[in-house]
């Protein structure tokens, strides 16, 4: 998922999509998973030169990816769609001014209970030994930019520095997530649960543990048959309920928690043993996956009503 936080930020995307032929390129690629440039040009009945300019615009915006593969007589460029959703925020700056932003490093969890397969890594190396849960308590965990486990949870304390006397009206969280299969498996569903202060907000089913191509930010030293990238998910808790990518997953709303400037706020990501699909969890930070971000949190706040 691509999260566009303002209309201005999305201008290049809107321009890229403002073309009938580029929309047709996306539609064809969705139907065929991927195609090489020659096949795509033939299908569209245009020259390779004309196709290249359209593909470049879509690639620059992150809508499609282009990879080179060895063929019988040299390299062949293949195109595929890189996004599953585009989420656009249209709030005006005036509506969005009372917001506290913070980022949580993947390794800055404050509580955990995990089961193998499991592990962590920084941008440069594995942290300890894989499948040894003891390293989730090691001080080096603070450097982790990726972690994974088969079942259990990790929990984070959200720093709460909203102004004195204010209450919290909405919490938004964006992060890159995937399942955890032995090795990788693009079809490996996992029910990932989200908790706030021990209350289940809802679940989202990750479709797989993706390893078909290397993640855009995944370091070169990382093993090719391990987790490469996830999906960017956008979790929102407000006065109407809890939502994932704009789709309501429960009626648990923000008023249930009575959150204000004094509140301790704990956010948990879990794969519960009783779930239908116990397929593990991978959390990607800045140095891994397809999105250059850690766990990003926004809290909207206001003064209590008289």
Quick check: 94 pLDDT over 60? no
Quick check: 29 pLDDT over 70? yes
CA 166 to chain centre: 30
Position 74 confidence tier, pLDDT thresholds 50, 70, 90:
low
pLDDT in tens, 218-267: 999 999 999 999 999 999 999 999 999 999 999 999 999 999 999 999 99
Look at domain 2-81 and name its CATH class.
Answer: mainly alpha
CA 212 to chain centre: 17
Cβ-contact 262, 62 below 8 angstroms: no
pLDDT in tens, 156-214: 999 999 999 999 999 999 999 999 999 999 999 999 999 999 999 999 999 999 999 99
CB neighbours of 56 closer than 8 A, spacing ≥ 6?
A: none
Residue 72 CB-density burial (10 A; 0-12 exposed, 13-18 middle, 19+ buried): exposed
pLDDT in tens, 139-150: 999 999 999 999
Token code pair at residue 164:
């004195």
Q: What architecture (CATH level 2) is domain 91-302?
A: Sandwich (2.60)
Domain with CATH 1.10.10.10 in the chain: 2-81
Domain with CATH 2.60.120 in the chain: 91-302
Q: In what order do the strands lie in the sheet with 34-36?
A: 34-36, 74-81, 64-71
Number of neighbouring beta carbons within 10 Å of residue 68: 10
Residues 255-275 as b or e (16 or more Cβ within 10 Å = b): eebebeeebebebbbbbbeeb
Prediction pTM value: 0.75
Position 34 confidence tier, pLDDT thresholds 50, 70, 90:
confident
């Amino acid at each position: 998922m691509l999260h566009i936080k303002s209309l201005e930020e999305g201008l290049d995307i809107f321009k890229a999509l403002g073309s009938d032929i580029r929309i047709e390129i996306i539609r064809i690629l969705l139907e065929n998973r991927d195609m090489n440039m020659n096949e795509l040009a033939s299908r569209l009945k245009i020259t390779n030169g004309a196709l290249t300019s359209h593909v470049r615009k879509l690639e620059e915006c992150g809508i499609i990816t282009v990879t080179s593969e060895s063929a019988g007589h040299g390299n062949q460029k293949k195109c595929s769609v890189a996004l599953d959703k585009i989420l656009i925020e249209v709030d005006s700056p005036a509506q969005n001014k009372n917001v506290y932003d913070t980022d949580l490093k993947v390794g800055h969890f404050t509580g955990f209970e995990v089961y193998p397969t499991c592990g962590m890594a920084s941008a440069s190396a594995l942290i300890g030994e894989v499948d040894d849960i003891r390293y989730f308590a090691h001080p080096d965990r603070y450097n982790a930019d990726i972690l994974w486990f088969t079942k259990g949870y990790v929990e984070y304390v959200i720093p709460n520095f909203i102004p004195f006397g204010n209450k919290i009206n909405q919490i938004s969280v964006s992060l890159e997530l995937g399942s955890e299969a032995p090795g990788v498996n693009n079809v490996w569903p996992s029910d990932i649960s989200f908790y706030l202060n021990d209350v289940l907000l809802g679940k989202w089913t990750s479709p797989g543990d993706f390893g078909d191509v290397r993640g855009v930010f995944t370091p070169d030293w990382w093993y090719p048959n391990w987790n490469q990238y996830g999906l960017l998910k956008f979790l929102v808790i407000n006065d109407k309920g809890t939502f994932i990518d704009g789709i309501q997953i429960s009626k648990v709303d923000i008023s249930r928690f009575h959150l204000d400037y004094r509140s301790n706020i704990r956010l948990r990501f879990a794969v519960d043993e009783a779930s239908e699909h116990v397929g593990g969890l991978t959390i990607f930070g800045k140095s891994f996956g397809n999105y250059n971000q850690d766990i990003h949190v926004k809290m909207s706040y206001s003064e209590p009503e008289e």
